Amino acid sequence: MPDRRPFRRPAGIFALVDCNNFYVSCERVFQPKLEGVPVVVLSNNDGCVVARSAEAKALGLKMGDPYFQVRSLLVRHGGQAFSSNYALYGDMSRRVMGLLAAEAPAVEVYSVDECFLDLRGMTRWVQPDLAALGKRLRRRVHQHTGIPTCVGIAPTKTLAKLANRVAKKRPELAGVCWLQDAELRAWALEQVPAEDVWGVGRQYAQKLQEQGITTAAQLAQVPLGWAKQQLGGVVGQRLVRELQGFPCLALGESEDGTRQRQSLCVSRSFGGAVTTFDQVWEALANHVTRAAEKLRAQSSAAHLLTVFVETSRYDGTPPPHSRSTVVTLPAGTADTGLLLAQARAALRRIFGPGARYVKTGVVLGGFEPEGQRQLDLFSPPPAPVSIEEPRAAVLAALDGLNQRFGRGTVTLAAALVGKQQPPPVWATRFERRSPAYTSWRELWTVSA
């Protein structure tokens, strides 16, 4: 039954701008010959499909398909496959999000290719027709970056996500869907399956299917008590209220580096199985170094350090296939040297001679502000400021050089081994990677 509470005017107007097939679109910006060609982007070590062009989707390629299984189909239709080029994608994402941030009072960078915009007040003072605003946003982003987008505009964030999905599926909308009144919202809710609503996972999708709830419109009509009981408590209630047009979710902190993360994980699968401690340590040292850089970038210190290693689940070895250990640091730190020392000792505790490792990584947790570190009551007093300050200055200089000249330009010796040529066996394979066209090191060279 629909909710019978008195109607109140919705207080929010949100837009969701989503880049279409983002990884593929980034490749096409610098290689226009790929337009109209089936294109896929692969995961680390060129394992699985993680992005597809519309033409690749039309061939029946699915997310997560192993590349070796679809390679022949792609070749038969003149398609192309690329290794993930995260440096290029990250830079293109920053450009897109910067353009959007200049167009709205507040934004939330939700992911590398999605951004929420708060449009409250813009209908009165700036842009009376929000559909026209959405079209202008699409034109501006495409003009300055070459990336195609779709825009969904609605009174709530959940409806804005839903509107964006409708905009992608309905060509007649020209990439913009503004749910400006109750009639349009009712129509859009009928277009979207319940399992595709933002916030409905696989488990809840199955439960809704069992109850005969197949569309977002039907989900919006369920009693709030039922939603609370069956869909995760208050979260389920908020989901239904958002579908009904009542905003329950405000803009959150962004995923573009400004969010104060509560944990950090850096890991990557190896390019090939490794068996020696030194090889695993080389990879882990690089991950710890990168994690420490991220920690300092948000001015945090970590109290917990977790190191883990994994063996292959498919080589016939018995489980367990992963081992980990947690280190509680006596005081929070973002010092790369201190973290490397703790990580090396932790790795020795879990490393098993003779095992064929395929992955390692580090997780940092227990964060606190760098300038407000909690000291251990039963540990010796910290080093004098005269000792800590020069070390902090060295780390700040190191971060500044890497930011200016590129990641890994200056690093500690433990992480330097990963820069050797040819690459070590643990290095991730990117055999089909295109150039990072926006990097100074890989700019196009034009000969006249």
Separation of alpha carbons 23 and 40, rounded Å: 9
pLDDT at 67 over 90: yes
Return the pLDDT at 238: 94
> 3-state DSSP call for residue 172?
helix
Higher pLDDT, 415 or 67: 67
Q: What is the CA radius of gyration of the chain?
A: 25
Strands 80-83 and 39-42: parallel
Q: Which of 332, 275, 336 is nearest to 309 (CA)?
A: 275
pLDDT level of residue 92 (50, 70, 90 thresholds):
very high
> How many H helices and E strands in the chain?
16, 13
Provide the β-strand partners of residue 348.
none
Cβ atoms of residues 279 and 271 within 8 Å: no
pLDDT level of residue 4 (50, 70, 90 thresholds):
very low
Residue 34 CB neighbour total at 10 angstroms: 20
pLDDT level of residue 317 (50, 70, 90 thresholds):
confident
Higher pLDDT, 391 or 82: 82
Return the pLDDT at 10: 46
Return the pLDDT at 11: 59
Mean per-residue pLDDT for 263-276? 87
Task: Dump pLDDT digits (tens) for 349-365.
Answer: 999 888 899 999 999 99
Mean per-residue pLDDT for 186-200? 94
Cβ atoms of residues 263 and 367 within 8 Å: yes
DSSP H helices, 298-384, are 336-350
Q: In the structure encoding, which two tokens stand for residue 229, read together?
A: 């009981």
Residue 343 CB neighbour total at 10 angstroms: 27
Task: Dump pLDDT digits (tens) for 114-154.
Answer: 999 998 877 665 566 899 999 999 999 999 999 999 999 99
Largest CA distance in the chain: 72
| Bond into 422 cis (ω within 30) | yes
Q: Is the dihedral of CA 267, 273, 278, 282 positive or negative?
A: negative
Segment (H or E) for 239: helix 234-243
Return the pLDDT at 270: 87
Distances (CA, A) of 442 to 25, 87, 270, 436: 19, 11, 25, 6
Cβ atoms of residues 188 and 174 within 8 Å: no
Main-chain dihedrals φ then ψ at residue 158, nearest 5 degrees = -65, -40
Distances (CA, A) of 198 to 1, 56, 205: 21, 25, 11
- Per the document, the length of the chain is 448
